[in-house]
Amino acid sequence: MATPTTSGGYASVPLSPYENLNTLLSLVRWSSPVISYSIPASGSVWSRDPDIGYGPSSGGGEPWSPNLGFLGADETVRFKSALQKWANVAAIQFTEVPDNQTTVGDIRVAYSNTAEMARSAAHAYLPFGEPSSGDIWINANTSALRSSYLDGSDEYHTLIHELGHSLGLKHPFSGDLLNTKTISPMNDTLVLSVMSYSGEPGQSSTSLSYAPTTPMLYDIEAIQHMYGANRNYNAGDTTYRFDDSTTYMETIWDGGGTNTITYTGTQPSLINLNEGSGSSIGKPVYTIDSNGRFINYVENVWIAFDTKITGAQGGSGGDYIFGNDFGNSLLGGGGNDSIFAGNGNDRIEAGKGNDVAHGSDGDDVFVGLAGKDALYGGAGRNILIADNALAQLHVTTLRNNSFFVRSDDGDMAIVRDVQTLQARDASVALTTLGISGNVGLGLVEIYVAAFRRAPESSGYDYWMKEIASKGLAQVADTIFSLDVVQKVYAANLTINEFVTAIYKNVFDKLPDTEGLAYWTQQLAAGSRGQLVVDMTAAGLGVSDGVDGKDFFQNRVDWGQYAVGYQATHNGGLSAAHLSELMALVNDDPMTLITLIGNAESGIAL
């Protein structure tokens, strides 16, 4: 038990394998996980020891300031709240004790003003075995700090920050007596640590529009390294609820259970369930300069390392939701959402609106047709559940793994790499339902590359016969020798220029260095036609989301659909009109869904 002239015990702390964490360690901590605190008042006693105490009362020590002051009742409540924020994440227990002539807390807090405090809002002493160890002194001349310490205020952040020092944390941007390690300026920000001075990374003249209300990502990692983690905090199933009535700047630490982040507001949000990652939820938080002017938006809700959250629900705005690898339940809500599952077995419900949802390596379940959706199953065995009878659902096969699904309710989706359709009354393989648009995928790819449109009926029929007798590569060579094609791909283009032109026209991007080198080597050893056959096949073979694939596969799928459409609508479309239609399709799957949806609804193309 500490007294006015003695301190609680302290212990050394080893460095960790993690450099960002190490920059916060003073390398000392309280030796006991039970840490006492007291609230001084008039009549409290302080050590006058000239070496390890505050020196004589005639000196400049904090207790001898004429501005010595004490926390009021409301301020004490907020101080205890800040203590609890640290106890939530670390295996420590704070115990209040009297502050009198014989007993004081390991941590004490009061107001003062000394020459050393002239440029600081507050300071605190590390746990070093001295009477002043753990003491927190708040600048009495900073009127804002004689406040209610509201969440998000610099004043409340000051309490959390100074308690970090009292527990054994140092500033990440500067060395200390026992530890000279400093953090990279790019990671020196209040967004990642309450012990930082900077809003913008490495810029101490900047701050945040709303200050942290909890220890942040690196702080939690460091304090748990020192004292252990509080595995009992929110150890059951917990739903973390966010809305638009409050601003947030916090890091979630959770001791276990099945946990969910739910946002019920209207702002567009970013929800990332991966540990160590940040989300943007609710009212925006941003960095500000010394005059309070906006600089940049920042992520305002973080997930601590070793915290597992498996559920996310977006609001009514357009949300981006990123899952992790633990098997998630991801719900987009209203708005036009983009959902990206991790590698577990996930349940994805895009919700109302025009949504894009990506599965990954697990076996994923996509729930519902609602609006216009693009559903990408990824690897694994994937299922689409529709709240319709099977007879109310209509499927067109665009490619072996790409389907257009439409309900009688008017909802529709592009569905890729999903094997099973589960209706209310039956579960069937998508391939058994599909009305095939055509089988000439290779020819459609060549048309998209050469003519930048779908084949017209007569051209499709002619070239399919040529492919049957001569092969796809030879037909591609012939097509690329046509005058109309050489207006785009001139015969005198160098190898590099031709490959670059294919990239631009087929994938809507320039080649990277590695890709350019590979394909120029292939062209040098072969023909233009064979190169286009190989490049387009490779383009469809890469993972969904790779730059350029969506642009190409959306156009190929439209080309496949357009061939089938012409075959069933008593005549073809002109080459000029097919070019106009193809120009409407880009990397946004909604452009493809809208075009096919119009055709399926009876709107003449």
**Model confidence pLDDT, tens digit, residues 54-80:** 999 999 999 999 999 999 999 999 999
* Cβ-proximal residues to 425 (8 Å cutoff; 6+ apart), any chain: 389, 390
User: Do 492 and 513 sit in the same domain of this protein?
Assistant: yes
Tell me, yes or no, whether 18 lies in a domain.
yes
User: Do 477 and 422 sit in the same domain of this protein?
Assistant: no
* Distance (Å, whole) CA 371 – CA 191: 37
Tell me, yes or no, whether 380 lies in a domain.
yes
Tell me, yes or no, whether 295 lies in a domain.
no
Residue 319: predicted pLDDT: 97
Indicate the residue among 436, 470, 493 that finishes a domain. 436
Tell me, yes or no, whether 187 lies in a domain.
no
User: Do 168 and 153 sit in the same domain of this protein?
Assistant: yes
Assign residue 215 a region (left: φ > 0; alpha: ψ between -120 and 50; beta: otherwise).
beta
Residue 579: predicted pLDDT: 95
Tell me, yes or no, whether 3 lies in a domain.
no
User: Do 56 and 170 sit in the same domain of this protein?
Assistant: yes
* Distance (Å, whole) CA 400 – CA 594: 21
Tell me, yes or no, whether 503 lies in a domain.
yes
Tell me, yes or no, whether 471 lies in a domain.
yes
Is the distance from CB of 425 to CB of 553 less than 8 angstroms? Answer: no
Q: Report CA-CA distances (Å) from 154 to 80, 197, 203, 329.
A: 17, 11, 17, 36
| Edge-to-edge strands, sheet with 278-279 | 250-252, 301-303, 278-279
Indicate the residue among 373, 405, 436 that finishes a domain. 436
162 counts as catalytic:
yes
Q: Is 139 helix (H, G, I), strand (E, B) or coil?
A: strand
Structure tokens of 141? 């001349």
Q: DSSP readout, 515-573?
A: HHHHHHHHHHTS-HHHHHHHHHHHHHHSPTTSTTHHHHHHHHHHHHHHHHHHHHTTS--
User: Do 460 and 595 sit in the same domain of this protein?
Assistant: yes
Q: Report CA-CA distances (Å) from 53 to 109, 135, 163, 391.
A: 16, 11, 20, 84
* Distance (Å, whole) CA 152 – CA 245: 14
Is the distance from CB of 127 to CB of 10 less than 8 angstroms? Answer: yes
Assign residue 452 a region (left: φ > 0; alpha: ψ between -120 and 50; beta: otherwise).
left
Structure tokens of 213? 């209300």
User: Do 576 and 449 sit in the same domain of this protein?
Assistant: yes
Residue 368: predicted pLDDT: 83
User: Do 579 and 560 sit in the same domain of this protein?
Assistant: yes
Residue 144: predicted pLDDT: 57
* Number of separate domains in the chain: 3
DSSP state of 380: S
User: Do 243 and 387 sit in the same domain of this protein?
Assistant: yes
Is the distance from CB of 444 to CB of 467 less than 8 angstroms? Answer: no
Is the distance from CB of 558 to CB of 551 less than 8 angstroms? Answer: no
User: Do 252 and 393 sit in the same domain of this protein?
Assistant: yes
Mean pLDDT by 10 residues, the chain (605 residues): 94 98 98 98 96 94 94 95 99 98 98 90 96 96 72 96 99 96 98 99 98 99 99 98 98 98 97 99 98 98 99 97 98 95 96 94 93 94 96 92 94 96 94 62 94 94 94 94 93 95 94 94 93 91 84 95 88 90 96 94 83
Indicate the residue among 388, 403, 436 that finishes a domain. 436
User: Do 538 and 456 sit in the same domain of this protein?
Assistant: yes
Instruction: Report the chain's C-alpha Rg in angstroms.
Output: 32
Residue 145: predicted pLDDT: 56
* Helix%, strand%, coil% for the chain, nearest 5: 30, 20, 50
Angle at alpha carbon of residue 551, lines to 547 and 554, rounded to 5°: 135
DSSP state of 334: S
* Cβ-proximal residues to 144 (8 Å cutoff; 6+ apart), any chain: 154, 155
The range of the structural domain enclosing residue 17 comes to 10-182
Is the distance from CB of 218 to CB of 190 less than 8 angstroms? Answer: no
Residue 142: predicted pLDDT: 74
User: Do 362 and 493 sit in the same domain of this protein?
Assistant: no
Tell me the CATH number at 124.
Answer: 3.40.390.10
User: Do 418 and 499 sit in the same domain of this protein?
Assistant: no
Active-site pick, 62, 75, 155, 162: 162
Query: Residue 524 phi/psi, 5° resolution?
Result: -60, -25
Tell me the CATH number at 448.
Answer: 1.10.3130
Tell me, yes or no, whether 301 lies in a domain.
no
